[in-house]
A and B are shown apart, each in its own frame.
Chain A
Amino acid sequence: MIVGNFVAAAVLFCLGAYTVTTRRNIVKMVLGLSLMESATYVLVISLAYRNGSTAPVLLYPPPGHTMKGLAHGNVADPFLQNICLTAIVIGVAVTAVLLTIVVRAAQHYRTLDTDEIRELTG
C-alpha cells in the first residue's frame, strides 16, 4: 500500500521535471518546480507512516490505551511530519520569490519565453 505513495511521488516528481526541462514559459517552469516540491512532501509524509499506526498525537488514545502508553505504541514518525510541515511554509515563500522574479523578467524583457531572454541562454 505504502509503495503506491512512493510511486505516486516518483511520477509527480518526473512530471514536474518534464515540465521544467521541456517548457520555455517561465511560469510553467515555476509550476513544474512546485510540482517537484509537492512530490517530496508526499514522499516524506509516506516515509513517516507505519503499518496500522495512528497519528502522533497523545490525546484521546484509542480504547484500551493510555496517553503514556500511546507514546510507546505504534504511531507515525513525528520527525518526518515536522520536516514536511516546515518545508511547506518555506516552499510557499520560495515560490513567491520565483514568481516575483518571473514578473520582473517579464516586465524587463516583455516575454515569458526563456528562449527570448537571451541572458539566460548562456
Chain B
Amino acid sequence: MRRGTEPDRELRADEPRHRRVLGAVLCLALLAVLLLAAFDLPDGTQPLPQMARRALTSAMPDYRTTEPVNAIVYGMRAMDTFGETFILLAAVVSVVVLARGPEPRRGFFGEAVAGRKEQPSGGESTDSGERRARRAEHDEQGEGDQTPRTPDEEPVGALAAERAHAMTVVVRSAVRVALPFLTTAGIYLAVQGFSPGGGFPAGVVLLGAVLLVYTAFGHPALWLVANDALMEAVEVLAAVAIILVLLLGLPLAGSFGAQWMGLTPLETMRSGGTVQAFSLSELVEVASGLIIAVFSLLGMRHEWGRDREAS
C-alpha cells in the first residue's frame, strides 16, 4: 500500500464511500435481525426465574441482608465475582505492562567520560559540515538565536514550557464543595452494608472523585493516589483479602465462598457477614485497580516512533 504524504491524508479524511455504504447495509441487516428478535423477547409479564425467586427469599435468612443483589454478587455468585475480579486484575496488569515507560537510570554508566575520550576537543568538531549540521539541529529544536536566553526575557503572556495543571478558581471551588459529598457517597455505598451493588459501584464512584480532583487541580494534587507503587500494593492486598474471605469458607463452613462470619441484625454495617467483607475488599480492589489503569494511561510518555518521512 502506498504511504500517503500529509496532503494525501487530508484528502482522504472522509471514509471511503464504498465502506460507508457496505457498513450501512450490513448494520441495517443486523438491525432487522435484532428487531425481529426484540419483538420475541419476554414482555415483562413472565414470572421471575426460580433462581431469582430463591435469591430473593434467601437473602434475609441466609445472608441477613435486605439487598438481594449484594447477596447474589458476593454470596450466591461469589465464585463468578471472584473470577470477574481477577479479569479486572488482568486488565489492570495489561494496562500497566503496555503503558510502562523506559527503566529509570539507576547508576553511572560513564557515557560522558567515554565521549570525552573519543572527542578530546570537548565535543566541538573541527569538521565544518558537522558544525553546520549541529547548528541546524540546535535551531530546529527551538534553541536558536530567536529564543530568549533566560526565562526573564520571555514576553508577558507567552506560553510557559509546562502545561497548566489546575483549572479556574470557579471549577476548583465547585470541586471542593462537591468532593466531600461524592467521596462520602462512594464509601457509604459499600460501608453501609445494605445498599445496591456494594463495592463495585462504590469503587467506580471513588474513581470519579479522584478524576474530578485530577481535572480541577492537576496531577500534583494527587501525589498520594497517583503513586503507582502504593496503589499496586493496595490492589494486591485487596486481592489477597478477597482470596482469604472466600478461602476461609472452605475449612470453616465447608465450601469455598461459604458464609463463615457471624451475622448481625438486619440493616447494620456487618449484617451481610462474608458478603460485606467481600464487598469492602472489592471496593478497594475496584477503586485501586481502576485508578492504576487510568493513571497509567494518562501518564504514558511520548515515546514516538521515527517519522516515516524521515525513515
Which residues does A use to contact B, with CB under 8 Å? 1-3, 6-7, 9-11, 13-15, 17-18, 21-24, 47, 49-51, 55-59, 67-68, 71-72, 75, 77-79, 81-82, 85-86, 88-90, 92-94, 96-97, 99-101, 103-104, 107-110, 113, 115-116, 118, 121
Contact = CB atoms under 8 A, between A and B. Distances in A.
Interface string B56-96: 11011000001111001100010011001001100110110
Going nearest first, the 3 A-B pairs with the smallest beta carbon separation are A22-B23, A6-B38, A93-B91
Interface string B289-305: 11001101100101111
A88 B207 CA distance: 14
- Interface bin, chain B: 35 or more
B138 interface: no
Contact of B20 (A14, A22, A50, A103): A22
Contacts of B77: 79, 82
Contacts of B303: 107
A57 B196 contact: yes
26 contacts: A6-B39, A7-B35, A11-B31, A13-B30, A18-B27, A24-B15, A57-B67, A71-B60, A77-B49, A82-B72, A86-B81, A88-B200, A90-B84, A93-B290, A94-B91, A96-B91, A96-B95, A97-B98, A99-B297, A100-B95, A100-B98, A103-B300, A104-B98, A107-B303, A115-B1, A116-B4
B267 A3 contact: no
B15 A116 contact: no
B55 interface: yes
B67 A89 contact: no
Interface of B: 1, 3-4, 9, 15, 19-20, 22-24, 26-28, 30-31, 34-35, 37-39, 41-46, 48-49, 51-53, 55-57, 59-60, 66-69, 72-73, 77, 80-81, 84, 87-88, 91-92, 94-95, 98-99, 194, 196-197, 200-201, 203-204, 267, 286, 289-290, 293-294, 296-297, 300, 302-305, 307-308
A103 B304 CA distance: 10
B contact face: mostly helix, strand, loop, or mixed: helix
A115 B107 CA distance: 43
Contact of B294 (A17, A56, A96, A115): A96
Given A22-B20, A71-B56, A88-B204, 4 more contacts: A18-B23, A96-B91, A101-B98, A107-B302
Nearest to A60: B66
Contacts of B38: 3, 6-7, 9-10
Contacts of A47: 41-42
B223 to A, nearest CB: 22
A118 B293 CA distance: 28
Given A22-B20, A59-B194, A85-B197, A2 B44 contact: yes
A63 to B, nearest CB: 17
Contacts of B69: 56, 78, 81-82, 85
Nearest to A68: B60
A8 to B, nearest CB: 9
A77 B22 CA distance: 39
A58 B77 CA distance: 19
B49 A85 contact: no
Given A89-B203, A93-B290, A100-B98, A58 B30 contact: no
A32 B98 CA distance: 22
B88 A89 contact: yes
